[in-house]
Amino acid sequence: MKVLVLGSGTCVPSRTRNAPGYLVETGSENILVDCGSGVLRQLTCAGRTHLDLDAVLITHLHPDHMADLLPLVHALKYTPGQIRRKTLYLVSPADLEEYFRTCLFAVLSPPRTFRLEFLQTSEAVRLGDCRITACPTLHSRESVAFKVDSEGRSVVFTGDTDYGVGLVDFCRDVDLLVADCSFPDEMKMGGHMVPSECGRLATEAGAGHLVLSHLYATEVPEAARVTQAARAYAGPISLAEDFSEYDVGQSGKPKTWCPDQIDRGGNP
């Protein structure tokens, strides 16, 4: 299983960090987790294609996590020379079918050559070699974290969330934990985690590797977040970068490529 970061940023436009999006590639499935604005282009720039997507998981309805969802279906209908046949699964905690009806199918007819299947997160979803589960989080009324299990390995995307004990149980023994780390410790805001909370979550859950993502630009140097998280978590930590890839492997320890150097000493 591989995880490709398409967007490590937030709702605030940035030259280096796109709005949230991650591609999970398993033996049989291509799964997009969140689909913020620009994610379709990021996918293309990464040498992948929207045509190959099997499922999209939406953690919550804030626009930075779902703005490219309608453009995705539009593109699947109208890519020249391509007729999509396979079903696109849309998994979310909210009624996305109603959203599509109101916002897209009022002006554009629904796809005819393929099906959109809307699945709720209240039950586990099995797709090919994957099992997808969700857990409510402390952010918005509907927000969830997603876990993808495949071939004995697992990855959790917290989506936007504050620290909570329910999340610790959900992340138990996960191989790769992609966590909301919106702000450094000195700028804590409710509804999001800071690095020390990400580290605490990773430690308490026994996560194999912590990836800090959903990064707002602040005055505090970004590297400080790794140092702050490392005070609470002794395992490997990466600061997510757009287009960085994590190979979660099939057995043994996760094989990961970390673009950053971790400085565990000194002050941020």
**CA atoms lying within 13 Å on the CB side of residue 97:** 7
Nearer to Zn ion, 68 or 160 (CB): 160
Enumerate helices (H) and strands (E) in the chain, giving the number of each: 7, 14
Q: Which of 24, 32, 50, 62 binds Zn ion (CB under 5 A)?
A: 62
List the structure tokens of 137: 């989080």
Return the range that interacts with Zn ion (CB under 5 A); candidates 1-9, 70-78, 152-160, 234-242.
152-160
Q: Which of 25, 29, 64, 149 binds Zn ion (CB under 5 A)?
A: 64
Q: Which of 264, 258, 191, 265 is nearest to 3 (CA)?
A: 258
Span 123-142, contacts to Zn ion by CB under 5 A: none
Those residues with Cβ within 8 angstroms of residue 47's Cβ, 6 or more apart along the chain or in another chain: none
Nearer to Zn ion, 143 or 154 (CB): 143
Shortest reach from residue 95's CB to Zn ion, in Å: 18
CA 177 to chain centre: 10
Strand residue runs (E) in the chain: 2-7, 21-25, 30-33, 55-57, 88-92, 116-120, 125-127, 130-136, 144-150, 153-157, 176-180, 210-213, 237-239, 245-247
Span 36-55, contacts to Zn ion by CB under 5 A: none
Nearer to Zn ion, 182 or 228 (CB): 182
Furthest-apart CA atoms within the chain: distance in Å: 59
Shortest reach from residue 162's CB to Zn ion, in Å: 11
Q: Which of 25, 29, 68, 160 binds Zn ion (CB under 5 A)?
A: 160
Beta-strand relationship, 55-57 and 88-92: parallel
Shortest reach from residue 197's CB to Zn ion, in Å: 16
Total binding residues toward Zn ion, as defined by CB under 5 A: 3
Shortest reach from residue 143's CB to Zn ion, in Å: 7
Return the range that interacts with Zn ion (CB under 5 A); candidates 63-71, 85-93, 113-121, 243-251.
63-71
Q: Alpha-carbon distance 125 to 133, whole Å?
A: 7
**Residue 225 interacts with Zn ion (CB under 5 A)?**
no
Shortest reach from residue 59's CB to Zn ion, in Å: 8
Residue numbers at the binding site for Zn ion (CB under 5 A): 62, 64, 160
